[in-house]
Each structure stands twice: as structure tokens, then as C-alpha cells.
């Protein structure tokens, strides 16, 4: 797919980065950026002077691709308002971090009205808003697609082409597998980072070095967004926390019993898994 018109609804960090990257990847495409608040459009107009911006959803009509970048809790209402402006040709995707609830809500609304498939770019930072957006955010980043049995192969191919044009690597999994694995490699790390910051407290901050900064960076992220994510993927995160608790107890036991061999193996196992992480 080579979209002639791309609409991005809600230009925060991810939506804004998609807008910047899409403007580079598809320079001849019409770009429309929608925001609920008119005052948030000025920096977008400055960064993307050729793009059309506005607070009226009808301006998204005629889009080949619509990217929903609003919070997951707002997507269903946004899609209901968008329905009159869709066609069977329109490809609609999202960027939510939890796919199960989004699929359950949006798929019935869009069935027969547009082409729908879930997306989740594994990219971002502890910052939020358009001011943090970057055109290169998706370079070598993984984007997870969650096609279902009813997703047409052409839809999957078209959205894959789009994300690859923005520099991303694409993988495809079910919504259930997405929520299971992302709970452990994204959501659980945030919960653990926040817990570590609370446990360490503020008194040691003047002594903190790179280790503390690298380990806890994500704890500074937008709290309302992360509360929604953690609650949205509650069951899988609770399962992940249970596994984390088991590992923490193994570490605690090795320290309590002064078991150097068990402690060394614990650290070696962790190091081996971490070193297998693909380079970005």
C-alpha cells in the first residue's frame, strides 16, 4: 500500500513520531493530524507545515490509513465518532500497549466499515507529548501486529509495509500472546522500576550513578498512562509479578544462606539471557 492520505488521531509521543516519520517516508501523501484540543496544534503546524491539522474528525474522510494514537480508554468513543467518515478501503490501526481489550472493543465497531488490525510499536521514552516526538523513533524498533483469524492477509501486508517504511521491524502474534509477552518485557519492568524507586527512596539520589539511572529511567514516565496500561493488562502483569517474586525469593535465599554458587548461577543465568537481547 502506498497511502495517498494518512490521518493520525492524537499526536502525542507515538502519534507525533508517526506523523514526522510518515512525512519523510511518504512525502507526496496528504497528512491530516487531529487533536481534541486546538491549542496543541500550533507546535505540530510548525514542525509539519505541509500537514493539515484540526479538531474536526470529518477531515479524516478519504483516508487510506488512520492511526489511532489516543489512550486506549478513549478509542471506542473515538471510533464511534469516526464511523461516518470511513470506507471499506480505509485501514485503521492503533498503537495501544494492551491489545486484548482494544480488539474486543474496536473489532465489532469496525467490522464491515473499515479494515482493522492492531499495532503496537515497542518504542518510546519516559517523556510524553508532541514535544518529545522524533522522526527516527521507529528506526530498528519492533512493531507488533495482532491480526486475528478474520484479518485479511492484504490488510496485514499493507500495515506491515507502512511500519517498515517508517524503519521498523514487524512481528505478528495473537492478541493473547502479545499481552502475555509484553506484560513481562514492558509492563512488568515499569512496575519493577517504580517499585525500586520507592524502595530506594529520595535520600540516595545524590549518590546515584548510571546503574540507577538506566534501571529506573522508565519510572519517570506519564503516570496516568501507565496506570491505565497496568490495569488493562492486570491478569498477565499479576502473573509476571508472581514469577518475579519467585526469582526474588531465590536471590534472597542465596544471600541469606551465603550460597556463593547459587548466587553466581543466578547472576550468570540473568547475564546470559540479557546478552541474547537483539541489538537495536
Which tens digit of pLDDT belongs to each residue from 239-256?
999 999 999 999 999 999
> Residue 193 is part of a domain; what is its CATH number?
1.10.3660.10
What does each C-alpha distance from 48 to 30, 45, 52, 118, 128 come to in angstroms? 11, 5, 9, 26, 18
* Each residue's pLDDT tens digit, 2-33: 999 999 999 999 999 999 999 999 999 999 99
Q: Looking at residue 97, what DSSP letter applies?
A: S
Per the structure, the complete domain to which residue 238 belongs is given by 178-275
What does each C-alpha distance from 55 to 37, 58, 122, 189 come to in angstroms? 7, 9, 28, 35
pLDDT at residue 125 greater than cutoff 90: no
Per the DSSP assignment, residues forming a β-bridge with 119 are 145
> Does the residue 34 lie in any domain?
yes
SS3 199: helix
* Each residue's pLDDT tens digit, 68-116: 999 999 999 999 999 999 999 999 999 999 999 999 999 999 999 999 9
> Does the residue 280 lie in any domain?
no
- Over residues 109-131, the mean pLDDT reads 91
Residue 255 is predicted with a pLDDT of 98
Instruction: Kindly state whether residues 121 and 218 are assigned to the same domain.
Output: no
- Over residues 42-60, the mean pLDDT reads 94
Instruction: Kindly state whether residues 87 and 150 are assigned to the same domain.
Output: yes
| C-alpha cell belonging to residue 31 | 497528512
pLDDT at residue 129 greater than cutoff 80: yes
> Does the residue 205 lie in any domain?
yes
List, as own/partner pairs, every contact residues 71-78 make where C-beta atoms lie below 8 angstroms and the sequence separation is at least 24, other chains included. Answer: 71/10, 71/225, 71/228, 72/96, 72/97, 72/98, 72/101, 72/102, 72/228, 72/229, 72/232, 73/228, 74/10, 75/102, 75/105, 75/106, 76/105, 76/106, 76/109, 78/9
Instruction: Kindly state whether residues 124 and 217 are assigned to the same domain.
Output: no
Instruction: Kindly state whether residues 77 and 151 are assigned to the same domain.
Output: yes
The count of domains in the chain is 2
Instruction: Kindly state whether residues 91 and 30 are assigned to the same domain.
Output: yes
Residue 39 is predicted with a pLDDT of 87
Instruction: Kindly state whether residues 169 and 184 are assigned to the same domain.
Output: no
Q: Residue 6's CB: how many other CB atoms inside 10 A?
A: 25
Instruction: Kindly state whether residues 95 and 196 are assigned to the same domain.
Output: no
Instruction: Kindly state whether residues 103 and 159 are assigned to the same domain.
Output: yes
SS3 231: helix
pLDDT at residue 137 greater than cutoff 70: yes
Instruction: Out of 173, 191, 207, pick the residue that ends a domain.
Output: 173
Instruction: Out of 173, 190, 221, pick the residue that ends a domain.
Output: 173
Instruction: Kindly state whether residues 233 and 144 are assigned to the same domain.
Output: no
Report residue 62: phi and psi, to 5°: 85, 5
Residue 131 is predicted with a pLDDT of 86
* Each residue's pLDDT tens digit, 155-183: 999 999 999 999 999 999 999 999 999 99
Residue 1 is predicted with a pLDDT of 80
Per the DSSP assignment, residues forming a β-bridge with 7 are 32, 66
Residue 124 is predicted with a pLDDT of 78
> Does the residue 130 lie in any domain?
yes
Residue 280 is predicted with a pLDDT of 64
Instruction: Kindly state whether residues 49 and 92 are assigned to the same domain.
Output: yes
Instruction: Kindly state whether residues 158 and 192 are assigned to the same domain.
Output: no
* Each residue's pLDDT tens digit, 256-265: 999 999 999 9
Burial pattern 76-107, b for ≥16 Cβ within 10 A else e, equals: bebbeebeebbeeebbbbbbbbbbbbbbebbb
> Does the residue 228 lie in any domain?
yes
> Does the residue 133 lie in any domain?
yes
Residue 128 is predicted with a pLDDT of 78
Instruction: Out of 119, 146, 173, pick the residue that ends a domain.
Output: 173
> Residue 161 is part of a domain; what is its CATH number?
3.40.50.720
**In percent, how much of the chain has pLDDT > 90?**
92
Instruction: Kindly state whether residues 79 and 105 are assigned to the same domain.
Output: yes
Amino acid at each position: 500500500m502506498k497511502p495517498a492520505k494518512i490521518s493520525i488521531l492524537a499526536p502525542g509521543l507515538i502519534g507525533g513520531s508517526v506523523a514526522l516519520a510518515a512525512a519523510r517516508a511518504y512525502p507526496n501523501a496528504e497528512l491530516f493530524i487531529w487533536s481534541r484540543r486546538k491549542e496543541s496544534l500550533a507546535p505540530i503546524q510548525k514542525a509539519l507545515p505541509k500537514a493539515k491539522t484540526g479538531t474536526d474528525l470529518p477531515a479524516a474522510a478519504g483516508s487510506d490509513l488512520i492511526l489511532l494514537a489516543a489512550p486506549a480508554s478513549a478509542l471506542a468513543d473515538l471510533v464511534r465518532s469516526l464511523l461516518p467518515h470511513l470506507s471499506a478501503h480505509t485501514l485503521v490501526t492503533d498503537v495501544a500497549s494492551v491489545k486484548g481489550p482494544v480488539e474486543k472493543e474496536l473489532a465489532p465497531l469496525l467490522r464491515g466499515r473499515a479494515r482493522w488490525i492492531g499495532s503496537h510499536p515497542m518504542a518510546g521514552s519516559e517523556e510524553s507529548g508532541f514535544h518529545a516526538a522524533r522522526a527516527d523513533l521507529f528506526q530498528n524498533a519492533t512493531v507488533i501486529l495482532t491480526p486475528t483469524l478474520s484479518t485479511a492477509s492484504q490488510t496485514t501486508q499493507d500495515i506491515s509495509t507502512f511500519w517498515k517504511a517508517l524503519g521498523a521491524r514487524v512481528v505478528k502474534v495473537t492478541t493473547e500472546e502479545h499481552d502475555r509477552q509484553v506484560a513481562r518485557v514492558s509492563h512488568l519492568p515499569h512496575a519493577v522500576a517504580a517499585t525500586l524507586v520507592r524502595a530506594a527512596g529520595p535520600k540516595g539520589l545524590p549518590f546515584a550513578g548510571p546503574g540507577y539511572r538506566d534501571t529506573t529511567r522508565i519510572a519517570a514516565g506519564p503516570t496516568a498512562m501507565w496506570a491505565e496500561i497496568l490495569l488493562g493488562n492486570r491478569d498477565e502483569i499479576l502473573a509476571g509479578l508472581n514469577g518475579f517474586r519467585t526469582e526474588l525469593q531465590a536471590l534472597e535465599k542465596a544471600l541469606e544462606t551465603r550460597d556463593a554458587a547459587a548466587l553466581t548461577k543466578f547472576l550468570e543465568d540473568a547475564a546470559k539471557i540479557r546478552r541474547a537481547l537483539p541489538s537495536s
